[in-house]
C-alpha cells in the first residue's frame, strides 16, 4: 500500500524519473526522539519528511536537467533520491480511530502528505495549504483511499 501511494504521487506529480524513497515505520518513542533531534520539538508526531532536494517551485524538477547527476541520483541505480519518510504506526492507529477511517487510509494519507513534502510542497501559508490539500486529495483518489 505504501508503494501504491508513492507510485500514485510520482505519477500525479509527473516525475519523469525512477525514484527512491526510504520509508521507516516506527513507534511514538522513536519518532519523538527524531523530532526532538531534528526539529527541536520534544514530542511524537505522525510523520516526518526529510527531502533530499530544495525546490524553487514545488514539484518542478526542471532544475535537475542542468544539475550534476551525482548530487541527486543514486550512482548504482540511477534513481532520483527523493528523501526519507518516517511514520509512527502508533499515531496511524490513534488517528484512524480519531478520524473514523481505516488504518490503511490513514497510513496512505500520511505517505501522500509526506511525498508532497519531498517534492517541495508545504502548508505554512494558507495558499500553500490549499494547494497541498488539493494534491493530497487527488493522490488519495488515485489510490482509491477516499474518505
**What fold characterizes domain 2-143?**
Collagenase (Catalytic Domain) (3.40.390)
Per-residue pLDDT, 146: 73
∠ CA 37-38-41, rounded to 5°:
75
Which pLDDT tens digit goes with each residue over 70-91? 999 999 999 999 999 999 999 9
Give per-residue pLDDT as tens, 120-139.
999 989 999 999 999 999 99
Name the 3-class secondary structure at 93: helix
Q: Yes or no: say if 145 and 137 are a contact pair by the CB < 8 Å rule.
A: no
pLDDT band at 37 (very low <50, low <70, confident <90, very high): very high
Q: What is the pTM of this model?
A: 0.95
Mean pLDDT for 26-35 is 98
Banded model confidence at residue 145, pLDDT cuts 50, 70, 90: confident
pLDDT surpassing 90 at residue 42: yes
Amino acid at each position: 500500500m505504501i508503494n501504491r501511494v508513492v507510485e500514485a504521487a510520482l505519477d500525479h506529480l509527473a516525475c519523469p524519473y525512477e525514484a527512491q524513497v526510504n520509508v521507516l515505520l516506527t513507534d511514538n518513542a522513536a519518532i519523538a526522539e527524531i523530532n526532538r533531534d531534528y526539529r527541536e520539538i520534544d514530542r511524537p508526531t505522525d510523520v516526518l519528511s526529510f527531502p533530499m532536494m530544495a525546490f524553487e517551485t514545488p514539484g518542478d524538477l526542471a532544475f535537475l536537467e542542468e544539475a550534476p547527476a551525482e548530487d541527486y541520483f543514486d550512482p548504482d541505480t540511477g534513481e532520483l533520491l527523493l528523501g526519507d519518510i518516517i511514520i509512527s504506526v502508533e499515531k496511524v492507529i490513534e488517528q484512524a480511530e480519531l478520524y473514523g477511517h481505516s488504518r490503511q487510509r490513514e497510513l496512505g494519507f500520511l505517505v501522500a502528505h509526506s511525498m508532497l513534502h519531498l517534492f517541495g510542497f508545504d502548508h505554512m501559508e494558507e495558499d500553500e495549504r490549499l494547494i497541498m490539500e488539493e494534491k493530497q486529495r487527488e493522490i488519495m483518489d488515485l489510490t482509491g483511499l477516499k474518505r
